[in-house]
Structure 1
Amino acid sequence: MLRSFAVSFLALTVALWALPGTQVTRGAESVAALAVGVLALGALLRPFLTRLTVLTGVFGLLLAGVLAQALVLWLALELVPTVQPFSVLEVVVVSWGAAVAAAGVNWLVDASSDEAFLGQLLRRAARSTRTPGSEGTGLLVVQLDGVSEPLLRQAVTSGAMPTLSRWLRSGDHRLRGWHTGVPSTTPAGQAVLLHGEVAAVPSFRWWDKEAGRMLVCNRPADAAEVERGFTDGRGLLADGGVSVSNLFSGDAPTCHLTMSRARLPGSEPGMARFATARTGFLRSLTLFAGQMLTEIHQGRRQRRRDVVPRVRRGGTFVLLRGLTTVVLRDLNVSVVAEQMTRGAPVVYVDFVDYDEVAHHAGPSRPESMRTLESLDRVLAFFEEVASRVGRRYEIAVVSDHGQAQGPTFAQVVGRTLTEVVQELAVRSTSATSDVRPVEPWGPATLLLESGRGHGRLMSRAARTVASGSGGVPRLATPAATETDPASLVVAASGCLAHVYLTDLPGRLDRDAVEGACPGLVRSLAEHPGVGVVLTRDAAGVLRVDGPHGWRVLTPGEEPAGAGADPLAPYAGDPAADLRELETKHHVGDLVLLGRCDPSLDEVVAFEELVGSHGGLGGWQTSAFVVHPTGWPLPLGRALTGLEVHRAMVARLEQHGLRRTDPGGGTGETGGTGDDRDERSARLPA
């Protein structure tokens, strides 16, 4: 209290001094009275502001965060007669000048650390709990988006993640790898981890021939449509669980910042507390500005040192980095701590800090690795909360995919993939595309779309600005020409691209593609930016073409072909991954993989991202799970996503947190292979 008074007194003194004219009649005495009034009114009004934020969603978060300080100062001025009345503009200027100054002083005193912020959340959780552990066991699943298993091992052994290192070295947890296959993307990873679904998602974005439009998984309406197509209502979080900052809901009854539920209004007390906390929102704004300056400095340093490969890191990414690594992270921590305090049986939260920075800086670059240090502190905080609240939470840490570094397609050949496809198509094909990076805009979309109509208006405005600066693209609709009705759409997701002939129904075989665009397959296969072109014949047999040869991928047989094996540069079992991709819905008529350099494990990205994923090469298919010892998982090999999902469901059953399905089963969404096939059959092929 003394510190808060001192900081408020100094901040108000500076703010009042900056205004023209004489504002106070008794000098320091008047300022002190005003500081006391601001602190007292802030404490009294905070419950009301919290409820206001709950009622108005994300718009209320912004309203409370921006206007609360002005409202409190205005009321304090009415109660302190020795301070001259201000105009509305002066109230706003003084309140926010004082707030920024106070946040800056607090930030400096706390040595720019997270201890004060996390300490407040921990004290709140402890005060709300009568008897720690009295409610039984719960499960908290923390997803570190985009972190590969080899990179995590490196971070643990190098000392960058001491909390995770302690868990593993003590024997309380085990680190296992799981293989994502293709696509190695967040939508595919969360579909299987949260829902046990393996067939519905072919990429981060794809063309739906029946609907005649592009589906992009960081659009709330598209994410909701995709989830409706495969959910059976018995996802991982179905029985009282909470989804925080995910693409899909896991059928959770409580969702915060979840893309597939972003258009649904609802009360979010964790967000409200974060918005109205004196050291929460203001601290995040201060660190947000610091992260933007850090990003500008690090981008310039890469250019000065001529670090390659690299991409442009200015513009909208400066804003996005601050949002994801500060505002969204702090908000996620606040909401999860709130739900743990309330005793939610299972919570699943996704932190995108590393994935966001690695896309633009590089997967193993210093600034990307530093995000893992802050995420490790978050794990330590959750561990402490778990020891203080009613449930004794088991904590599991997972990732949805890894990343591979490499140059972009445009850097290698000087043109975009769509331009190349247009030029190589022999016939006059009208080609459109969606190849600008949209995944990094997911966190911003979550923040803007999670409220009521105001949030969606703000999101549309943000997208309008971004569309003119290389951000979220406006999608063009393919238009057929009178001379040639065939239309090509290129849907790129990192180093994976699906090419569709949109006016011909269904998945086309190689002969049909050749009939529409003679020579296109061979020309793409020989292109320096493309590593593999995948097609199939009328009987469904897959063929891969590369720059110096081709192979037929027949299961259980020696692959037939000629020349060099196009899949040789890709580690693991790429043939099996591509055969698995063929079983998914909405696969392109042609599937392209970026060229892989096995000497450096670098992969050419079809988007303007130096760290990419989606296809094959590097560490992008090597995800991980860190689980408490004793989980029912097979040993001696890399796991599948479905095995990880089933293990989490089984753990909930062991703790009595999984409701028995009315049909007599346990309600596991993975089910049998036949169950998944039947559910997937409801999706349009």
Structure 2
Amino acid sequence: MDRRIERSIDNTRERIDNTKERLDSRIDNTKERIDNTRERIDSRLDFEINPRERFNEIKNNSATYEYFERLKKDRTFFNNDEPFTKRLNNVSKDLNLNVSFSNKTTVSEETAQAIVLASGNLGLIYFTDWSNRMTYEQIEDAFPGLLNGLTHHEGIGFVMVKSEIYDTIVFSDDDVLYLDSEEYYGNHFLEKYGENIINKLKRTDSFDHIPDILVNSEYDIENDEVYAFEELIGSHGGAGGNQQYPFILYPNDWNLDEEIFGAENVYKFFMGEMEKSWNRK
């Protein structure tokens, strides 16, 4: 009797253990399916929320890198009025990526919120609906044709924006400069603005509160004139013209041995020499 009971108990324990093992296995499989489903959902949500980040991942793939490098030379890829997402869809089709991009950010003229500031022949454009500096791609989707219209205006010399794909880009008519690598495609349109213009733009590009679109007027070399965006007799603030050649009037016992670059270094120069003068008294 006792043996039968013990066997029954052992069999019951075995069945319980087997059942528990099967349940644990099912639970693990269910957890795995849930995790996979979450991953697919997160992937879709991420794609819908920020498709260009996904596209940057694709771009950085070695198989598509050369394609994007070729696009840098294709000025029509940038200089057109189509929303950027439409151009990305064309790229996706060419590369057989099976990725579709939708544009839900186009802003009408009536609802667009912008601050436009002028400093001589320098224009600063901020779009206040965006908390961070807008990228070239975002601007092209939200305001199709705006950059193309600015860069081809006869009174504008060049426009600078930040790209998610190619970093900082400077446009002038159909010509392009990739600022970080200093690669021109087309005419070297910045040369007439002085030998330090690229370094000046890089310095400006590093500012925390740089505008979404930086606009500089055309520079008429023959008449040595720029087109001020303010109603001024003279002009300063941008590049081009006599304003590119400032001077400092200082005592002849001060020491200025090298070129000063940037307003902050003008301040440092004055403070340094003034402190030396005070210490000599």
TM-score for both structures, normalised by structure 1: 0.24
Q: Please tell me whether the aligned partners of residues 115 and 127 of structure 2 are also in contact (alpha carbons under 8 angstroms).
A: yes
Residues 344-366 of structure 1: per-residue CA shift (max 9 Å, x gap): xxxxxxxxxxxxxxxxxxxxxxx
2:45 aligned partner: none
Residue 550 of structure 1: how far off its partner (Å): 1.1
Match for 2:276 among 636, 647, 654?
654
- Does structure 1 residue 562 correspond to structure 2 residue 185? yes
- Does structure 1 residue 612 correspond to structure 2 residue 232? no
Quote the RMSD (CA, aligned, Å): 2.4
Match for 1:501 among 109, 122, 127?
127
- Counterpart AA for 1:646: K
- Counterpart AA for 2:238: G
Residues 538-572 of structure 1: per-residue CA shift (max 9 Å, x gap): 26821111123111112xx4x32422233133223
1:428 aligned partner: 108
- Name the CA distance, whole Å, in 2 between partners of 1:640 and 1:427: 37
- Name the CA distance, whole Å, in 1 between partners of 2:279 and 2:162: 45
2:213 aligned partner: 590
- Counterpart AA for 1:568: E
1:523 aligned partner: 149
Q: Please tell me whether the aligned partners of residues 152 and 172 of structure 2 are also in contact (alpha carbons under 8 angstroms).
A: yes
Residues 238-282 of structure 1: per-residue CA shift (max 9 Å, x gap): xxxxxxxxxxxxxxxxxxxxxxxxxxxxxxxxxxxxxxxxxxxxx
Match for 1:581 among 204, 227, 231?
204
Distance of aligned partners of 1:626 and 1:536 in 2 relative to their CA distance in 1, 3 Å threshold: same
Q: Please tell me whether the aligned partners of residues 569 and 597 of structure 1 are also in contact (alpha carbons under 8 angstroms).
A: no
Residues 448-503 of structure 1: per-residue CA shift (max 9 Å, x gap): xxxxxxxxxxxxxxxxxxxxxxxxxxxxxxxxx3xxxx322211121111111111
Q: Please tell me whether the aligned partners of residues 177 and 185 of structure 2 are also in contact (alpha carbons under 8 angstroms).
A: yes
Distance of aligned partners of 1:531 and 1:640 in 2 relative to their CA distance in 1, 3 Å threshold: closer
Structure 1 stretches of 4+ with a deviation exceeding 3 A read 637-644, 655-658
1:314-393 to 2 correspondence within 5 Å? none
Q: Please tell me whether the aligned partners of residues 549 and 561 of structure 1 are also in contact (alpha carbons under 8 angstroms).
A: yes
Residue 630 of structure 1: how far off its partner (Å): 2.8
Residue 614 of structure 1: how far off its partner (Å): 0.9
Residue 656 of structure 1: how far off its partner (Å): 4.0
- Counterpart AA for 1:600: N
- Counterpart AA for 1:606: F
Q: Please tell me whether the aligned partners of residues 633 and 643 of structure 1 are also in contact (alpha carbons under 8 angstroms).
A: no
Residues 78-116 of structure 1: per-residue CA shift (max 9 Å, x gap): xxxxxxxxxxxxxxxxxxxxxxxxxxxxxxxxxxxxxxx
- Counterpart AA for 1:631: W
1:535 aligned partner: 161
Structure number with greater Rg is 2
Distance of aligned partners of 1:627 and 1:528 in 2 relative to their CA distance in 1, 3 Å threshold: same
Residue 657 of structure 1: how far off its partner (Å): 5.8
1:392-407 to 2 correspondence within 5 Å? none
- Name the CA distance, whole Å, in 1 between partners of 2:207 and 2:229: 21
1:543 alignment partner, SS class:
strand
2:18 aligned partner: none
2:255 aligned partner: 632
Q: Please tell me whether the aligned partners of residues 567 and 574 of structure 1 are also in contact (alpha carbons under 8 angstroms).
A: yes
- Name the CA distance, whole Å, in 1 between partners of 2:118 and 2:261: 27
1:649 alignment partner, SS class:
helix
Q: Please tell me whether the aligned partners of residues 631 and 647 of structure 1 are also in contact (alpha carbons under 8 angstroms).
A: no
How many residues are matched? 175
Q: Please tell me whether the aligned partners of residues 594 and 603 of structure 1 are also in contact (alpha carbons under 8 angstroms).
A: yes
Q: Please tell me whether the aligned partners of residues 120 and 230 of structure 2 are also in contact (alpha carbons under 8 angstroms).
A: yes
- Name the CA distance, whole Å, in 1 between partners of 2:191 and 2:269: 33
Residue 524 of structure 1: how far off its partner (Å): 0.8
- Name the CA distance, whole Å, in 2 between partners of 1:569 and 1:502: 33
1:550 aligned partner: 176
Residues 614-640 of structure 1: per-residue CA shift (max 9 Å, x gap): 1100121322222222323224x4565
2:249 alignment partner, SS class:
strand
Give the share of equivalent positions with the same residue, in percent. Answer: 31
- Name the CA distance, whole Å, in 2 between partners of 1:608 and 1:654: 41
- Name the CA distance, whole Å, in 1 between partners of 2:115 and 2:158: 18
Distance of aligned partners of 1:569 and 1:657 in 2 relative to their CA distance in 1, 3 Å threshold: same
- Name the CA distance, whole Å, in 2 between partners of 1:610 and 1:652: 33
Residue 535 of structure 1: how far off its partner (Å): 0.5
- Name the CA distance, whole Å, in 2 between partners of 1:631 and 1:576: 27
Residue 513 of structure 1: how far off its partner (Å): 0.7
- Name the CA distance, whole Å, in 1 between partners of 2:269 and 2:186: 43
Gaps of 5+ in 2: 1-105
- Name the CA distance, whole Å, in 1 between partners of 2:220 and 2:277: 47
